[in-house]
Structure formats: structure tokens, C-alpha cells
Amino acid sequence: AAASAAAMLSLDFLDDVRRMNKRQLYYQVLNFGMIVSSALMIWKGLMVVTGSESPIVVVLSGSMEPAFHRGDLLFLTNRIEDPIRVGEIVVFRIEGREIPIVHRVLKIHEKQNGDIKFLTKGDNNAVDDRGLYKQGQHWLEKKDVVGRARGFVPYIGIVTILMNDYPKFKYAVLFLLGLFVLVHRE
């Protein structure tokens, strides 16, 4: 009895899909495309408003504890009119390294014309970041900055970390989302 019930259910499902004629299928695919485009537009819009190439970042290390922990989400701006000053939390990239770092500005030396060089340190680290910079590099410059942290929300970024560390989890989430959008009838 169980076997026949299962057989009936799967037939019903297939019938449903067949009933969705080609036009509806295209409609669903377009719907899906629109959702993806809107998300991209919102992201690009954020990039313009904040002036940062990555307006939202996830904290990956514990070097800024107890303020920020792994998985916290940071909102950045990178407006040129905002000068870099000590005490600010900056997200920067070291040349040759992909992963940006979130630390605090410890020292700045700024010239009359606006050229600035600065040193950073993680709140939870005992020493400043010179050991992290490129070989021979003693200072950071404006071009290394991805953005300044202006606001934050705790914990939410854990999902991104999970998806990164466990690719199977990421594929499962994407697969389920795709399935849901394609099959769900509005």
C-alpha cells in the first residue's frame, strides 16, 4: 500500500509539471531572473551610495573582540570626503591578499595635499599590524581601504561563513532556493 501511495504522489507531481505549459515555465524563469537582477541592482546601488566596493562585510577573525566576533556583519562607507582619523575602524586589503582585514587606525601622518599614510592594529592583538603588511611595507594608504565601519549587526554573517566553509551546504541552499522559485506557482 505504501509503495502504491508513493507511486501516485510522484505521478501527481509530474502531472503538475506537465500542466505548467511552456508559457508558464518561461514566466517562472523570467520571474527568477527579475529577482536576481533586483538583488544585483540593490547591491550596486549600495556600492554607489557608500562609495565602497564592498558595502557589507562579514567579520572572519577574532582580532577585534570583544567588539566584533566571527560572523558579525559590518556596514561600510568609503566616502572620499571623510578623512581617515585615528580610532576609526577600517576594512583594508593587503596587496596580494584577497581577504580584507577589519582593524582600528592607530596612527596617521597626513600631508598638506591630503596624502595620508596610517598604521592599524586589532583591538584584541598585542601588537600593531606591521607584521601583517607586505614585506617592506610599513604603512597603509587610502588605496588599500575598502571602507570604514559605520554600523554593525551581530551573528547574521554566520550563514556566509557556513556557506564558505561547507560548500555542500551552499549548493544545498542554492538548489533548494532554485527549486522553490521554479516550482512555486504565483
Partner 1 sequence: IRKNVEDFTGPRERSDLGFITFDITADILNGKKCGLQTFWNKNTLIIFDWNVKQLFLYLSAEYSTKNNALNQVVLWDKIMLRGDNPRLSLKDMKSKYFFFDDGNGLKGNRNITLTLSWNVVPNAGILPLVTGSGHVSVPFPDTYETTKSY
61 belongs to the catalytic site: no
63 Cβ contact partners less than 8 Å away, ≥ 6 residues apart: 101, 102, 103, 122, 123, 124, 125
- Name the active-site residue from 16, 52, 61, 63: 63
Give DSSP secondary structure letters for the chain: -HHHHHHHHHHHHHHHHHHS-HHHHHHHHHHHHHHHHHHHHHHHHHHHHH--S-SEEE--SSTTTTT--TT-EEEEE--TTS---TT-EEEE--TT--S-EEEEEEEEEE-TTS-EEEEEE-TT-SS-GGGTSPTT---EEGGGEEEEEEEEESSTTHHHHHHHH-HHHHHHHHHHHHHHHHH---
Shortest distance, position 69 Cβ to partner 1, whole Å: 11
- Residues in region 106-135 near partner 1 by CB under 8 A: 106-112, 117, 123, 128
Binding segment for partner 1 (CB under 8 A), chosen from 5-13, 30-38, 40-48, 146-154, is 146-154
Shortest distance, position 49 Cβ to partner 1, whole Å: 16
128 belongs to the catalytic site: no
184 belongs to the catalytic site: no
- Residues in region 154-173 near partner 1 by CB under 8 A: 154
72-111 footprint of partner 1 as x/- string (CB under 8 A):
-------------xxxxx--------------x-xxxxxx
Shortest distance, position 67 Cβ to partner 1, whole Å: 5
8 in contact with partner 1 (CB under 8 A): no
- Residues in region 21-40 near partner 1 by CB under 8 A: none
- Name the active-site residue from 52, 72, 103, 144: 103
- In angstroms, the Cα distances linking 86 to 40, 42, 137 are 34, 31, 19
Measured from the CB atom, the residue of 123 and 142 that comes closer to partner 1 is 123
Binding site for partner 1 (CB under 8 A): 66-67, 85-89, 104, 106-112, 117, 123, 128, 149-154
Catalytic residues: 63, 103, 129
